[in-house]
Amino acid sequence: MKLVRIKLVCGLLCSLSSAQLLAAETVYISPRTEFGAPDLQGTWSIATQTNLERAARFNGQLTITAEEALRIEMMFQAVFASDAPSDPNREAPEAGENVGGYNTFWMDPGDRLALVNGEIRTSILVDPADGQLPYSEQGRANLAAAMRSRQSYDGPEVRPLGERCVVGFGSSGGPPKLPVLYNNNTQIVQTPDYVVLLAEMNHDARIVRLNADYPQSSFNPWLGDSIGHYEDNTLIVETTNFHPQQSMRSSLDHRFFASPRMKVTERFTRISDDVIHYQFTVEDPENYTQPWSGELPMNKTDEQVYEYACHEGNYALPGILAGARRAEFEGIEYAPTDPGQ
């Protein structure tokens, strides 16, 4: 009887040892650069169908099943297919007719919902738990005012930064980094003293200074002032002192408003050869009742980061302003946009 017990215990210990060894084998060990930092270099895509805030149809659930995700993704693809490139031989629109925007040939917002820790996510936001931005009353008023200003065409200064080719649309360059309609690739380059995050959208290059301090006399560059350091396998980046004109970030369903004094803490952790787990937390007491956090995968891609030639041959801004002057001449008024839509 004693011998049987000994055999059972030995067998159990062997099984546990094998399981532990198997678990150890499955733990990803991030490659290192020649100067010992976790290697995050390469080109990564943040394209996803998952929105910043959680839609009401998910009833507050952060995750859904693979079957539910497939149904949503197929519906999305069907909408895309219905907006195929227009017939080049069709008659030109009449003067004043709505010519529309891009057709889907030019769009690449992603064809899958975000997969994080093996879960299919319904929102990039994970905190607050309801997946909604925790605006204060003042924050909502600031958002509404920023949306109303977009209906003004008095001069180029009031138009969105993407239209002016200053920085990319939305928050593709970050921080926080959020998906946009197309050009969702980011190239990461590391040196012993810097990390460069080059967003394909409008070729925004954010230069992170490692183990540095903010200058005593703060300045407010485009994309903010970023300082980073490494902790184990993670690059941690803290950014503040944003340009005042960058307070409004809006692209697709990834929209938020924040003050220049917002602080964003990002974490870049390579969890496999093909995925960086990207996490961020936003602190901005001027507009929100609490900090808010999100996460999404940055998926490795073999696609190139193409030049985003925005100014060259771009007649959009002069056309927009000329149209506004014509509308004023004809006495046409623009209705403000509802920020909730």
Q: pLDDT of 247-290, one tens digit each?
A: 999 887 899 999 999 999 999 999 999 999 999 999 999 999 99
Mean pLDDT value of segment 205-210: 97
pLDDT at 20 over 70: no
Q: Cis check for the bond before 221: say yes or no (omega within 30 of 0).
A: no
What is the pLDDT at residue 85? 58
Domains and CATH numbers, the chain: 132-300 (2.40.128)
Mean pLDDT value of segment 71-85: 79
Rounded to the nearest integer, the mean pLDDT of the chain is: 85
- Rounded to whole angstroms, the Cα distance separating 266 from 286 reads 20
- Rounded to whole angstroms, the Cα distance separating 295 from 50 reads 11
Q: How confident is the model at residue 314 (pLDDT cuts 50, 70, 90)?
A: confident
Mean pLDDT value of segment 287-295: 98
Mean pLDDT value of segment 133-146: 96
pTM of the predicted protein model: 0.83
- Cα–Cα distances (Å) from 51 to 109, 126, 156, 181, 186, in that order, read 11, 12, 29, 12, 19
At 227, is the secondary structure helix, strand, or coil? strand
Q: Please, which residues have CB within 8 angstroms of residue 237's CB and are 6 or more apart in sequence?
A: 175, 195, 208, 226, 227, 228, 265, 266, 267, 268
The H or E element spanning position 14 is: helix 2-26
Is 99 or 14 the better-scoring residue by pLDDT? 99
Among 12-16, 43-47, 74-78, the minimum mean pLDDT is found in 12-16
- Rounded to whole angstroms, the Cα distance separating 210 from 271 reads 22
Is 130 or 11 the better-scoring residue by pLDDT? 130
pLDDT at 237 over 50: yes
What is the pLDDT at residue 19? 36
pLDDT at 153 over 50: yes
